[in-house]
């Protein structure tokens, strides 16, 4: 079975890891492709940093720091301290080991290689068996509109600690960017498409917003299911709950269902929600969505793999190819 | 008194440090400018690395690693290990703290700033009071011709461990490069000019070889003295002794005197040689050079300052302005 997951940062990385674990134990093994958001990318100290790609890559490689939630395990911060001594901005902290990733990526991009090719080389060097694809090779950058003005996404997210209510989002470059041929080919041949429990505005939104991408997903003929990033009214990680409220929605599993129904009509066949949100089942089914109610909080690898397996079984049961 | 030193790597850094110590204790304090070779610069992982500038800067800032002889004290190598995991070349080792220097430099050069300006900012951030000037803002690169072929300087020096006899040197870009306005102004207003005990081919040669530079030194009217990098027939550090022999000279204090007399005629007024080489005095004086014979091996800060002080007194005594 060919599985395609669309993912952002931490929640996406966890489910991608679960799908990778489920893929290798399936018989025959699934072919897993993870398409990752790049709208959170940024330039720092002249380097190209891809936070979501790195979070997914490090997680799949088993070298992510599990407590911090981002970056590499056994990380040190010597370069960052020295950058501070030079008066350079260090609000986006780059670990010493992590720097190597950005150096290799930036040098190869500077030589004209595509982010897709560079990402594959980095992931392969770290022993990642899963196919990891940036959503696009062209620059796409999320801008956040608040009462304090417009900010680059990471500036709002990290530097300002998400303290400003988000009034508006602008995904710059989206109209001029395209999904890569690799992404389109993977989607078109997919047997199941999973939208990871990532932020629907910041992570899944930019991917589905790429010209031609939503149509490709709709026309793939594969079942498409999302895993809700909202459990019991709050986001397990990140600002999805606050953004659902401030951008005119509702921070709930049903709010996620409505978000996808309104912004990406006809994309979803089913939604995976947490046991804690079982009471919202009829609201969600009223939107024409099929439902899987299960434990969606991924505390350990076993949780990740179980949720991934259940999600795939649910998807295939909806609309077998 | 305005003092200008021309310097390369480790030997140059030590004497520059001695001159800086002597400068601040003089009354009134000397104004010290150190002009540093950039022909050893290289591009690594997309970063601009200036080994000689960094060695001098770290030494003057008191943050150099004294045992290793290059790079920063309390250095770690996490990024380098990760670069190796990615299959990147790591024969030129970049420490984690050191990386910050290259990141800041490269980013600012990438924005179109001059190396002169960036170097001043880096040195100032590290608390260096001495004026540190790259010899040129234009790229100059030493190439080494051997029986095994031509190599970039650092490739021969570090990667191949200087194992190939040097048959020929080519300083690429030299004819098209210029000393900076800051370098020329410092030389023209100097009261004493000191050629540090750096490699005469690799460090001092490129500086004096810049179009207009040798004339500026000759026409400055200031006494010009060199400190011999050869003591007892060997170079204290680096390949100067082997290069003197393989490029048609002699690895001795007198060989240094002849080298400057032949390659840079009329530049030197005097030479500082080690007590161990006192027997060569008459040979050197026969070339028209005045001599200071003293201890030139700099084992500690006191050695550095004493040699610097003696060298300056020697210079001023030769041709007071």
Percentage, residues of chain B above pLDDT 70: 99
Higher per-residue confidence, B32 vs B246: B32
Structure tokens at B115: 């190396």
Give me the pLDDT at residue B319, please. Answer: 73
Give B80-108 pLDDT, tens digit per residue: 999 999 999 999 999 999 999 999 999 99
Checking if the pLDDT of A320 tops 80, the result is no
User: Which residues lie closer than 8 Å to B33 by C-beta, 6 or more apart?
Assistant: B2, B3, B4, B5, B130, B131, B133, B186, B190
Give me the pLDDT at residue A115, please. Answer: 98
> What is the count of residue pairs from A and B with beta carbons less than 8 Å apart?
99
The secondary structure element, H or E, covering residue A52 is helix A51-61
Percentage, residues of chain A above pLDDT 90: 93
Checking if the pLDDT of A274 tops 80, the result is yes
Cross-chain Cβ contact A79/B96 below 8 Å: yes
Cross-chain Cβ contact A104/B47 below 8 Å: no
Helix axes B96-110, B78-85, angle to 10 degrees: 80
What number is the average pLDDT over the span B19-29? Answer: 95
Give A18-30 pLDDT, tens digit per residue: 999 999 999 999 9
Nearest residue of chain A to residue B111 (CA atoms): A46
Give me the pLDDT at residue A319, please. Answer: 73
Checking if the pLDDT of B320 tops 90, the result is no
Predicted ipTM of the assembly: 0.92
Which of B96, B98, B106 minimises the CB distance to A76? B96
Give me the pLDDT at residue A33, please. Answer: 98
Give B142-186 pLDDT, tens digit per residue: 999 999 999 999 999 999 999 999 999 999 999 999 999 999 999
Give me the pLDDT at residue B70, please. Answer: 87
Residues of B within 8 A of A126 (CB-CB) are 85
Answer whether A126's CB lies under 8 Å from B88's CB. Answer: no
Cross-chain Cβ contact A97/B104 below 8 Å: no
Give me the pLDDT at residue B58, please. Answer: 97
Nearest residue of chain A to residue B120 (CA atoms): A86
Give B259-301 pLDDT, tens digit per residue: 999 999 999 999 999 999 999 999 999 999 999 999 999 999 9
Answer whether B105's CB lies under 8 Å from B99's CB. Answer: no
Phi, then psi, of B82 in degrees rounded to 5: -70, -35
Q: Which residues pair with A143 in a beta bridge?
A: A152, A170
Buried b (16+ CB within 10 A) or exposed e, A271-310: bbbbebbeebbebbeeeebbbbbbebebeeeeebbbbbbb
Checking if the pLDDT of B72 tops 80, the result is yes
Give A49-106 pLDDT, tens digit per residue: 999 999 999 999 999 998 888 899 999 999 999 999 999 999 999 999 999 999 999 9
Checking if the pLDDT of A237 tops 90, the result is no
Checking if the pLDDT of B67 tops 90, the result is no
């Amino acid at each position: 079975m060919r599985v395609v997951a669309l993912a952002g940062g931490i929640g996406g990385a966890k489910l991608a890891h679960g799908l990778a674990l489920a893929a290798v134990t399936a018989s025959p093994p699934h072919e897993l492709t993870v398409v990752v958001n790049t709208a959170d990318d940024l330039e720092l100290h002249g380097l190209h940093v891809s936070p979501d790609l790195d979070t997914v890559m490090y997680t799949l490689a088993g070298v992510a720091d599990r407590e911090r939630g981002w970056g590499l395990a056994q990380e040190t911060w010597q370069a960052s301290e020295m950058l501070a001594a030079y008066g350079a901005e260090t609000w986006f902290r780059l670990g010493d080991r992590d720097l190597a990733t950005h150096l290799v990526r930036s040098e190869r991009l500077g030589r004209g290689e595509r982010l897709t090719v560079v990402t594959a080389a980095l992931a392969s060097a770290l022993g990642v068996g899963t196919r990891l694809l940036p959503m696009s090779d062209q620059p796409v950058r999320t801008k956040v509109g608040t009462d304090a003005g417009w900010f680059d996404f990471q500036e709002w997210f990290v530097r300002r600690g998400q303290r400003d209510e988000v009034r508006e989002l602008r995904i710059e470059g989206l109209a001029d960017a395209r999904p890569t041929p690799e992404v389109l080919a993977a989607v078109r041949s997919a047997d199941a498409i999973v939208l990871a429990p990532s932020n629907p505005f910041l992570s899944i939104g930019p991917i589905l917003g790429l010209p031609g991408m939503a149509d490709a997903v709709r026309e793939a003929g594969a079942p498409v299911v999302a895993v809700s990033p909202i459990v019991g009214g709050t986001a397990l990680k990140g600002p999805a709950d606050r953004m659902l409220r401030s951008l005119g929605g509702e921070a709930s599993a049903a709010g996620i269902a409505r978000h996808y129904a309104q912004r990406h009509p006809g994309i979803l066949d089913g939604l995976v929600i947490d046991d804690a949100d079982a009471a919202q089942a009829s609201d969600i089914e009223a939107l024409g969505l099929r439902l899987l109610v299960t434990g969606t909080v991924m505390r350990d690898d076993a949780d990740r793999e179980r949720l991934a397996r259940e999600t795939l079984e649910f998807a295939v049961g909806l609309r077998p190819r």
